[in-house]
Chains A and B, each alone.
Chain A
Amino acid sequence: MIKVRNITKKYGATIALQDVTLAVKKGKTVALIGPSGCGKSTLLRIMLGLVEPDSGQVEINEALLSKESALEIRQQVGYVIQKGGLFPHLTAYQNCALLPKHLKTSKDEIEERLQELCDLTGIEIGDLSKYPSQFSGGQQQRISLMRALMMDPPILLLDEPLGSIDPLVRYDLQSDLKDIFKRLNKTVVLVTHDLGEAGFLGDEIVLMNQGQIIQKGTIQSIVKHPNNEFVSQFVKAQRNHLEEIE
C-alpha cells in the first residue's frame, strides 16, 4: 500500500534520512518510533509530499508520488498532527466539510458521513457548530481524525496524534484509535515517541535513529531480541519506573 524506496534527505550538513526503505501492507498499522530528531516525522511528511526528499521514491497505492500526483494522493490519505491542526476560524463542521465541499460532495452526503464519524469517535453531532478552541484537547484530536476520515481514505498518517493529550484521556483515545483502525481496515502509519503506545497500536514497529531504520518487527521481538546496544537502551529508557517498584 505504501512503499518508500531509498529515501535520503539532508538539511544542510545534517542528515535527516539516510537511504531509508520501508513498505506498509494494506490494513496494517506501522508505528515509527525513535528519539527526537531520528527522522520519523520527516519520513511521514515525505510520504505525503510535504517534504521533498533529495533522492528516492514514494509509492502510495501503486501511484508514484510526484508534484503532479501529490494533490490526488493527499486526497486518499488522512493526516492528523499533534495538536490537531484544526483551523481556528472554522467550526468543527466547516473543518470537516472543507475537503468534501471542494470535491463537490453534496450536503446530504457530508451530513450523513459526519453522523457516522460522530458515532465512531464519540463526538456529539450538535457540538460540530462549535469552534476548535471550544473543545478539549482530546476532543480536538477526535475531530481532527473525523476530518481526516471524511472522504474515507484507505490510508491514515498520524504524527504524534496523542502527543499533547493528558494521560487519562490518552488511554481512552488509544483504545478508541485501535478499534477504529481495525474496524475500518485502514492502512496506518503512526509516529510516536512512546514505545507502549507503538506496541499497543502497531502491528509492526519501526525503530529509527539518526536517519536510519535500526530494527523492524513486533513489540515482542524488539523488546525480547534487541538488535544492538541502542535498541536495548531505548527499550530500557521507555520502561516505566512503576514497573521497577513492582
Chain B
Amino acid sequence: MKVLLFIIATMLIHSSGLMAQDPIRVGSKLFNESVILGEIITQSIENAGFDVEYSDQLGGTRILWNALLTDELDIYPDYTGTIVFELLGETEPLTIAEINRKIEVFGIQITNTLGFNNTYALGMRMDHAEDLGIEAISDLREHPELNFGFSNEFLNRADGWPGIQSTYNLDGSNVTGLDHDLAYRGLENENIDVIDLYSTDAEIDYYELKVLEDDFGFFPDYAAVIVYRSDLNKDVQKLLGNLEFTINEADMISMNADVKLKGIDDEIVAYRFLNGIFGIEITHQSDNRSDRLKETTIDHLILVGVSLALAILLAIPLGIAAFQFKKIEQLILSMVGILQTIPSLALLVFMIPLFGIGTIPAMAALFIYSLLPIVRNTHSGLVSMNNGLKESAVALGLPKSVILKKIELPLALPSILAGIKTSAVINVGTATLGALIGAGGYGQPILTGIRLDDTALILEGAIPAAVLALLAQWFFDLIEKRFSYPT
C-alpha cells in the first residue's frame, strides 16, 4: 500500500511541473542517525522530482530549529522528547498531536513517528558494570568515584544530565563534556566509565556495552519524527508522511552500524533502505577523494579569502581612526576586543538569525574574528612611530593625509601585516567550524571523520587546513619581504 502511494505521489508531482520551484532545504544534526535520516528524506523527495538542497551535519538542535524558524531550512529529523523538553521547555511528555498544536504558532509541524524510539540511556562497559554489580542507573549512587563523560548537548539539556542527576540524586563531581562519538573511545580506553547513549546507537553491541536500566523511568519517549515548515509544499508533506512507521528500531540500529562500523556511505545506506521499502531506483554517484578535496578546498578558500579581505577593508580604516581620533580610540579597541571574546561556536549560532545557515553566516563570523588582530596591529603600528620621524614629517610641511599615506602607514606596514597574518592563520583554523552551520570547507571531512570514527577522513580536513595556514603565513611573509627596507 505504501509503495503504491509513494509511486502515485511521485507521478503526480512529476506531472504537475513543480521542477522549477526553489529547492527543498533539508538539514540534519551532527550525528550518524540524523545524517542518515536526512539522507533518506532527501532521496525520497528527490526521487519525486524535486530539487533538494541537503545541509548535513549542522551543529545542534537549536541551530536547526532556528534555521526552520527563519526559513533557512524546510525540513529536518528530530525526536519528540527533544522538541518537548528542549525546545518547548515543557516538564511533562506530550503526544504528537499535542506537540503539533503547540508549535503551530511557529509555522512548524511534525510528522507522526518514523517508527522507532531513540531515547537517551546511560551505558557502561559490560565487564565493568558486572564487576561493580551495577544494573540500573540508581546503582550509580553507590559509586561516586566513576567518571561520567557526556555529550555537551546531554550535559545541558533539562531532559539530560541535570534531570537525571536530580531524579537519581547522583554525585556530579566527575563529569566531563565531550563529543558523543569520541565518548565511545574514551570508554574503550577506560578514561571514562559512564556515557550517555542513544538507544539506537550501533556501538552498544560493538563495544559490548551495558545499557543501564532507567529504573525511575526518567527518560521519556524520543520518537523519531520529521520537523517541517507548515508552508512546505503539500506534495512534499505527503512524501514525508509516506515515511511514517517505516523504520523500526532494529532497522535503525542496523543502518547506524552500516555507516559507523562498516564504513558504508550515508547516501548508499539511505538508498538501500528506500530501495528495500519503496523499490525506488537512484543512480548513486560516489565522489572520490580528490574531487572531495577540491570541493572542500574551494569552499575553505572562499570562506577564508572573502572574510579576511572584508576584514582587512574594515579593520585598517578602524585602526587608523582609532589612531587619529583620540575620542573614539578606546571605543573602537574595546569593541573589537569584546567581539573577539565571544566563543566561536556561539558566534556562529548568533549569525544564524541574521544570515541563516551556510556560507554567509560563517563568513560573517570569521570576518568578526579577523578584525581584532588587524585593528590592534594597525593602531599600535601607527602609535609606536618614532617621535622624531613624526616631527620631521610635520615639519616638512606635508598635510596630515599625505603624512599618513606616505610615511605613517608604510612605517606601520610590518605591524599591520603581522596582524593580517595572525588573522589569516586563526581564520583558517576557525573556518573548519563553519561546517557546523553548513558552510562546507575542511571542517566537513573533519566532522564526518569524527562522526564515522574515520581517522583518514579527519586528516583529509586537518592536513590541508594546516597546510593552508602555513601557506597563508608564507604568503604574508613574502609580502612583508617585498616591502622591507635595510635597517
Chain A residues within 8 Å of B, Cβ to Cβ:
45, 48, 50, 71-77, 79, 81-83, 85-90, 98-99, 102, 131, 133-134, 147, 157
B411 near A74 with CB under 8 A, answer no
Bound Cα distance from A24 to B398, whole angstroms? 25
A-contacting 9-mer, from B105-113, B151-159, B388-396: B388-396
Sample 28 A-B pairs with CB under 8 A, ordered by A number.
A50-B394, A71-B399, A72-B397, A74-B395, A76-B397, A77-B395, A79-B392, A81-B388, A85-B388, A85-B389, A85-B392, A87-B392, A87-B393, A88-B389, A88-B411, A88-B487, A89-B410, A89-B411, A89-B413, A98-B396, A99-B397, A102-B399, A102-B402, A131-B485, A131-B486, A133-B487, A134-B486, A157-B395
> A79 and B487 in contact (CB under 8 A), knowing A87-B411, A98-B406?
no
B389 contact from A48, A77, A87, A131, Cβ within 8 A: A87
B388 touches A83 (CB 8 A): yes
Beyond A77-B395, A87-B407, A89-B413, list 19 extra A-B contacts (CB 8 Å): A45-B391, A71-B397, A74-B396, A76-B397, A77-B397, A79-B392, A79-B395, A81-B391, A85-B388, A87-B392, A88-B485, A89-B410, A98-B396, A98-B398, A98-B406, A99-B397, A131-B486, A133-B487, A147-B396
Is the beta-carbon distance between B485 and A79 smaller than 8 angstroms? no
CB-CB under 8 A from A77, the residues of chain B are 395, 397
Q: How far is the CA of A147 from the CA of B397 in the complex (A)?
A: 12
Q: Nearest-CB distance from A231 to chain B (Å)?
A: 30
* Chain B binding surface SS class: helix
B395–A48 contact, CB under 8 A? yes
For chains A and B in complex, what number of residue pairs have CB atoms within 8 angstroms? 65
In the bound complex, what is the Cα–Cα distance between A86 and B386 (angstroms)? 11
Mark interface residues in B389-423 (1 if CB within 8 Å of A CB, else 0): 10111111111001000110011010000000000
CA distance A72 to B396 in the complex (A): 10
Contacts of B483 in A (CB 8 A): 89
A-B complex: 8 closest residue pairs judged by Cβ atoms: A85-B392, A74-B397, A75-B397, A79-B395, A131-B486, A89-B485, A89-B410, A133-B486
Q: List chain B residues, Cβ under 8 A from A73.
A: 397
Q: Residue B388 contacts which of A72, A82, A89 (CB distance < 8 angstroms)?
A: A82
CA separation between A89 and B408, bound complex, in Å? 10
**Whole-angstrom CA separation of A113 from B349 in the bound complex:** 64
Min Cβ gap A37→B in Å is 17
A88 CA to B483 CA, complexed, in Å: 12
Residues A50 and B391 in contact in the complex (CB < 8 Å), given A79-B396, A98-B396, A133-B486: yes
Q: Within 8 Å CB of B388, what residues of A?
A: 81-83, 85
Q: Complex Cα distance A99/B398, Å?
A: 7
Residues of A within 8 A of B397 (CB): 71-77, 99
Known: A81-B388, A85-B388, A85-B391. A99 touches B411 (CB 8 A): no
Distance to closest chain B CB from A178 (angstroms):
23
Shortest Cβ distance from B485 into chain A, in angstroms? 5
- B485: chain A residues within 8 A (beta carbon): 88-90, 131, 133
Please give me the residue from chain A that is nearest to B487 by CB atom. Answer: A133
Residues in A neighbouring B391, C-beta threshold 8 A: 45, 50, 81, 85
Distance to closest chain A CB from B409 (angstroms): 10
Q: Please, how many angstroms separate the alpha-carbon atoms of A98 and B399 in the complex?
A: 12
Q: Considering the chains assembled together, what is the distance between the CA atoms of A98 and B407 in angstroms?
A: 10
What is the CA–CA distance of A79 and B389 in the complex, to the nearest angstrom? 12
Tell me the chain B residues, 357-415 only, with Cβ under 8 Å from chain A. Answer: 388-389, 391-399, 402, 406-407, 410-411, 413
Residue of A nearest to B402 (CB): A102
* Chain B, Cβ-Cβ closest to A153: B397
Q: Looking across the interface, which residue of chain B has its beta carbon closest to that of A81?
A: B388
Give the Cβ gap from A92 to chain B, nearest Cβ, in Å.
Answer: 12
- Closest chain A residue to B484, Cβ basis: A89
Q: How far is the CA of A89 from the CA of B395 in the complex (A)?
A: 18
In this complex, the member of A85, A86, A90 whose beta carbon has the largest number of chain B beta carbons within 10 angstroms is: A85
Neighbouring A residues of B393 by C-beta, 8 Å: 87
List the A side residues contacting B392 at CB < 8 Å.
Answer: 79, 81, 85-87
CB neighbours of B402 from chain A (8 A): 102
Closest A residue to B396 using CB positions: A99
Report the minimal beta-carbon distance from B397 to chain A, rounded to whole angstroms.
3
Bound complex: CA A98 to CA B410 (Å): 14
> Bound state CA distance, A142 and B88, in angstroms?
80
A86 to B485, CA, bound (A): 13
B417 CB to closest chain A CB (Å) equals 13
Give the residues in chain B near A87, CB-CB below 8 Å.
389, 392-393, 407, 411
**Which chain B residues in 33-68 approach chain A with CB under 8 Å?**
none
Q: Say how far B12's CB is from chain A's closest CB, in angstroms.
A: 72
Which residues of B sit under 8 angstroms from A83, Cβ to Cβ? 388
A133–B485 Cα distance when bound, in Å, is: 9
**A199 CA to B388 CA, complexed, in Å:** 26
Among A89, A90, A134: residue with most chain B CB under 10 A: A89
List chain B residues, Cβ under 8 A from A131: 485-486
State whether B395 touches A50 (Cβ < 8 A): yes
What residue of chain B has the Cβ atom nearest to residue A76's Cβ?
Answer: B397
